[in-house]
Amino acid sequence: MRDRTPESALKALQEGNKRFVVNESEHPRSSYEQTIMAKGIDQNFHAVATVVACSDSRMPVERIFDIGIMDAFVVRAAGNVIGVDQTGSVEYGVGVVDTPLLVILGHTNCGAVQATIDKLYGSKDDLTPSINAIIAKIKPAVLSVLNREDGLNGQSVLDASVEQNVWQGLHDLFMQSKLVRDKYVNGDVKIAGGVYDLHTGEVRWLNEKNVAVTFADVQLKLENKVN
């Protein structure tokens, strides 16, 4: 069993991404033998992180962090949105697999975020109801950027919206999951947000203070619901 403290888990992902960026990936625990071994081993003793990421094929989570089989419990959805299904998967990751780290990972030039921006600017694209449901989850993040940042346009709106959408996902997760809220408050899980750069391969880690800010915002909303 590897060291599964929150700090060591985050450090492992950070160091793995650094190797990936300079083309020095070690591809640990990625052999066929590891697959065979995994059949009879409880992943609770190995997985160090639950990662919520976009479905985009250009950001294979295990590759960009240079990790292997049983290292991460990965939840993927277009736009890294967090609805009921994703919330259940995250709860399984941090509650049953018991990973000490939860990462919400967006990426540059996200098509789902761009589609949301286009929709807000009047795009008439004929999207399916299910895709529109994804856009509805991202919409608050884009509106937050447009209302907060004067003078942004084009690429700058997309970049800021991608980052804000990471925190929107965490907001939705906190709203939907008492288990995750309790794990966070009790210090049982560390939460980190990041944005993967499709051009450089680098993960830019976002300001950790925003986790606490998001949690406080959700707590206030939940208290107001009760009152």
Q: Tell me if 141 is assigned to some domain.
A: yes
56 is in an annotated binding site: yes
Q: Tell me if 30 is assigned to some domain.
A: yes
CATH code for position 73:
3.40.1050.10
Residues 105, 61: Cα–Cα separation, whole Å: 9
107 is in an annotated binding site: yes
- Contact, 72 vs 125, CB < 8 A? no
The number of folded domains in the chain is 1
pTM for this predicted structure: 0.92
Q: Tell me if 1 is assigned to some domain.
A: no
197 is in an annotated binding site: no
Q: Tell me if 70 is assigned to some domain.
A: yes
Q: In the prediction, which pLDDT does 144 show?
A: 94
Give the 3-state secondary structure of residue 90.
helix
State the 10-residue block means of pLDDT for the chain, 227 residues long: 80 97 83 59 78 97 92 97 98 96 98 95 87 97 88 86 98 98 97 98 98 97 83
Residues 195, 64: Cα–Cα separation, whole Å: 12
110 is in an annotated binding site: yes
Q: In the prediction, which pLDDT does 188 show?
A: 95
Q: Tell me if 182 is assigned to some domain.
A: yes
Q: Tell me if 25 is assigned to some domain.
A: yes
| Domain that includes residue 167, residue range | 6-226
Residues 165, 139: Cα–Cα separation, whole Å: 9
Q: Tell me if 62 is assigned to some domain.
A: yes
